[in-house]
Amino acid sequence: QQQVRQSPQSLTVWEGETAILNCSYEDSTFNYFPWYQQFPGEGPALLISIRSVSDKKEDGRFTIFFNKREKKLSLHITDSQPGDSATYFCAASTTGGNNKLTFGQGTVLSVIP
């Protein structure tokens, strides 16, 4: 059973548009949600994260919106740039969860110049 689900699997936007990547989860004990960015041939790297006590986290052009009641979150990338083209993973963990992260299957973002 997939504990963390992402949609869409792939997304194409024009340069300057806002890309919206969605994530949902099953386990109500999850309380920490990092998003990782992965470029081809590289390992994932932390992009931005949010804890369940917040409903929004902003870092430059990247914003996470979190809805605890619906167990959903989304990553908004405003003014998308070709350099943002990558795979984005939503992940989740819980306090006392033995330091484990559960990853979604990823969304491949392509930004067309």
Partner 1 sequence: DMKVTQMPRYLIKRMGENVLLECGQDMSHETMYWYRQDPGLGLQLIYISYDVDSNSEGDIPKGYRVSRKKREHFSLILDSAKTNQTSVYFCASSPGTYYEQYFGPGTRLTVL
Residues that bind partner 1 (CB under 8 A): 9, 32, 34, 36, 41-46, 49, 51, 89, 93, 95-101, 103-106
| Cβ 113 to partner 1 shortest distance, Å | 26
The minimum distance between CB 46 and partner 1, in angstroms, equals 4
62-66 — which CB contacts under 8 Å span 24+ positions?
62/35, 64/33, 64/35, 66/33
Give the nearer residue to partner 1 in terms of CB position, either 17 or 27.
Answer: 27
Measure the CA dihedral 106/20/29/103, to 10°: 10
State which residue, 36 or 62, has the beta carbon closest to partner 1: 36
Minimal distance in Å, beta carbon 79 to partner 1? 25
Minimum CB–partner distance for residue 87 and partner 1 (Å): 9
Write the CB contacts of 40 (distance below 8 Å, at least 6 apart in sequence). none
DSSP percent split of the chain into helix, strand, coil, nearest 5: 5, 55, 40
Amino acid code (one letter) for 85: S
Cβ-based nearer residue to partner 1, 41 or 83:
41
